[in-house]
Chain A
Amino acid sequence: MIDKIKEQRNEAWRVELRKKLKAKDRKAIERIVIPEEDSLERIKSQRIEVNRPITFDQAQTEASRCMDCANPTCMEGCPVGINIPGFIKNIEQGDIMNAASILKETSVLPAVCGRVCPQEKQCEARCFYAEKLNLPAVAIGALERFAADYEQSNQTKSDQVNERVSNGVKIAVIGSGPSGLSFAGDMAKYGYEVTVFEALHEIGGVLKYGIPEFRLPNAVVDAEIENLKELGVQFVTNFIVGQTASIQDLKEDGFAAFYIASGAGLPRFMNIPGENANGILSSNEYLTRVNLMGADLAESDTPVMTGKNVVVIGGGNTAMDSVRTAKRLGAERAMIVYRRSQDEMPARKEEVHHAEAEGVEFLTLSNPVEYVADDNGRVSHVKIQKMELGEPDESGRRRPVSIPGSEYLLEASVVVVAVGVSPNPLMTNVMPELNSTDWGTIMVDESLQSSINDIYAGGDIVRGGASVILAMGDGRKAAKNMHEKLIGN
């Protein structure tokens, strides 16, 4: 792989392209400012994507900032090792379709990853500009999105579809989130008859029920799903493996091997007094009601809690998605309550900035300790305790320590709890022979095989709540290993 990347770098056109512009001149170009919908306009609807597309020219200019380093450290920052200089130099050259196909060598869902990966902690953190020049990194995420969107809108039905020859071996995938989808795509390309089983009525996992339209339009996810259908992947919704039918039933139906990608769907609560009052809900419930069930639309039958003061507990992407959803549902005050400081928030930086621009308030170094309800059992206040930062903990972040006597009441008509998720126990409950950890994650070896032969697992069900790119990477890895094992047999 590395050799191939070196080889590509030495191709004549790449050498030519590098010479076209001096490093000094590349350095002088300023990082692109991604155009955004106006913050007052965009909060009027859940369905306006915040980041607008960039133009062909803008993409080429940004791509020309990339120095095409001999030792591309950015790739080390990417959890799946995307050939970053390869795709960026194709953009600079103007060959966007080729850039997209380089992305697809490693990432099945580049249009998704370009939008939701925490690039500032991954590839962009390791970009030469950021590491050595102390300048803003090349906007790798934006370029990834550009190339993938370009491909989606200029797609001529790829010819690989017609050439596909089925080997007749049936493979079942459990869960249609990014991990299941990427596994399915690769196995279909290897020639297997792949069926994806999904418990919900929609395909996409968190990409559909969790991440809102303003950050990741459903149309982008659907386009990727269409591609998989063209590859011959079958989708069965409303099917809970382990309940509707067991793995054993599916084996009898001829499925030879399984990939479990059932995600970390179980919301955690804090178990503090008053948490079961009305108006207090998990971020999963809040986001599912809106994103999956369309509760923001008048024609939907599903209701959602709304109110003047919405308090969201947590500092991750889920918290940001919830608090920005609250703004869009009309909250006067939409607030983040987070026990550490803003620097420690695990959410993508861009989302925090977008939230600030939209008028979200940040109450940091604050922790809820109790909820107070009115006479009807509906939450009215959150009792907040102030925190200060102490010694660093195992994660290297400074541990928040409570300040005694600092408690005060904050008015709240809706509270959204976004403090993390646990693995979905639907599969492990009914399959005791599937080894799992104390936290409920499925145990796998390096090849991602579980304690049962022919059952592989990956994504959040193995890692606990992780990320789209890691879930996707697991899918690819499991596909490769399963394929090798099946043909080895």
Chain B
Amino acid sequence: MKNKIISKVQLSDSIFKIEVEAPLIARSRKPGNFVMVRVGENGERIPLTIADANRDKGTITMVVQKMGVSSAKLCELNSGDCITDLVGPLGKPTKIEKVGTVLACCGGVGVAPMLPIIEAHQKVGNRVITILAARTKELVILEEEVRKFSDEVVIMTDDGSYGNKGLVTAGMEQVIARESIHECVTIGPAIMMKFCAETTRKYDIHTVASLNSIMVDGTGMCGACRVSVAGKTRFTCIDGPEFDAHQVDFDEILTRLKGYQDKEKLGNKLQEVK
């Protein structure tokens, strides 16, 4: 049996951490890579970033929020069940260089794909400050793991129920005011990444965003995932998923994410909150 789920942990009301057997992907994946997943013979192919991998056990971990049909189908599976199709690793890996201090800004389930990135940054000797932003306390997930790979963690909630009250950008401004930041990484809802990029643009801090486009194949075959970067059309799945956030046309992304919203089949909506 392939792609067997070996553990499933509920992180919040609608967010699950799923560890699945995938020895080859566990061996070849790098930070920033994602996989395409399909559940059931009528299932849709959806992209999910790899949150963690264990080479010895031969497993990878994904964090999924129940949103549309496809993410719900995945979240309904339990330990011992198998995922119909799982392919990867896909996408270009994150460029990790020793730069100094890295500011990692994550929102919602975006924390999960951020984990391997901050781990890698710490490994090469960068100082990592992570901002964990969520609507409310219940949605702050994976805090313990984040602390493991960060020199400092700033928690922001919209309603102030945990950490500081305010948006991710407020946390960013505070950190930037106090010390020099050499690189910024942002992963979360497109609207959040847009504002992160606007914030760092003011200070001319190089910023990388991991984009969450709608995908079909994930291998460069269809162009569903196309985005405009520096005025040129690029495919998120093979040219990305990470791009220079200051060059990305986020308004176009926000429009494109709504492309299938009038459809009954809303599987891809998951991506909006990645």
Which residues of A are in contact with B by a Cβ distance under 8 Å? Answer: 199-201, 209, 237-240, 243-246, 249, 265-267, 269, 271, 275-279, 281-282, 284-285, 288-289, 293-294, 297, 299-303, 305, 376-378, 424-426, 429
Contacts and interface: CB of A to CB of B under 8 A. Distances in A.
Which A-B residue pairs are the 3 nearest by beta carbons? A377-B255, A285-B222, A238-B87
A348 to B, nearest CB: 23
B163 interface: no
B223 A278 contact: no
Interface string B215-258: 01101111110111000010000100000000000001001101
B233 A289 contact: no
Interface in B60-102: 69-70, 73, 84-90
Contacts of B259: 278-279, 305, 377-378
B265 interface: yes
Contacts of B227: 276
A424 B220 CA distance: 7
A60 to B, nearest CB: 42
A377 B256 CA distance: 8
A278 B221 contact: no
B28 A245 contact: yes
Given A276-B256, A288-B217, A301-B44, A282 B223 contact: yes
Interface in B164-184: none
Interface of B: 24-25, 27-28, 38, 40, 42-45, 69-70, 73, 84-90, 216-217, 219-224, 226-228, 233, 238, 252, 255-256, 258-260, 263-268
17 contacts: A201-B38, A201-B45, A240-B87, A244-B25, A265-B221, A267-B221, A275-B233, A277-B255, A281-B224, A282-B222, A285-B223, A300-B42, A301-B69, A302-B265, A303-B266, A377-B259, A425-B220
Contact of B221 (A201, A266, A294, A302): A266
B238 A426 contact: yes
Contact of B260 (A239, A293, A300, A303): A303
B219 A240 contact: yes
Nearest to A244: B24
B220 to A, nearest CB: 5
Contact of A267 (B223, B252, B265): B223
Nearest to A239: B87
Contacts of A305: 259-260
Contacts of B255: 277-278, 376-377
B46 to A, nearest CB: 9
Do most interface residues of chain A lie in helix, strand or loop, or is the interface mixed? Answer: loop
Nearest to A300: B42
A275 B256 CA distance: 12
A426 B216 contact: no
A429 B239 CA distance: 10
Given A265-B221, A285-B216, A301-B265, A271 B233 contact: yes
Contacts of A300: 42, 44, 265
B36 to A, nearest CB: 8
Contacts of A209: 221
Contacts of A285: 216, 222-224
Contact of B42 (A294, A303, A424, A425): A294
B24 A245 contact: yes
A238 B85 contact: yes
Contacts of B40: 301
Given A276-B256, A294-B42, A426-B220, 19 more contacts: A199-B217, A199-B219, A201-B38, A201-B45, A243-B88, A244-B88, A249-B28, A267-B223, A276-B233, A278-B258, A285-B222, A297-B42, A300-B265, A301-B70, A303-B260, A303-B268, A377-B255, A424-B219, A424-B220
A301 B226 contact: no
Contacts of B256: 276, 278, 377
A293 B252 contact: no
A285 B227 CA distance: 15
Contact of A284 (B90, B222, B264, B268): B222
Nearest to A377: B255
A302 B224 CA distance: 13
Nearest to B86: A238
Contacts of A200: 87, 217, 219
A244 B224 CA distance: 22
Contacts of B219: 199-200, 240, 265, 424, 426
A276 B258 contact: no
A294 B265 CA distance: 13
B123 to A, nearest CB: 22
B44 to A, nearest CB: 4
Contact of B89 (A243, A271, A377): A243
Residue of A265, A289, A303 with most chain B CB atoms under a 10 A cut-off: A303
Contacts of A238: 85-87
B216 A201 contact: no
B87 A302 contact: no
B258 A376 contact: yes
B265 A303 contact: yes
Contacts of B45: 201, 293, 302
B267 A302 contact: yes
Contacts of A282: 222-224
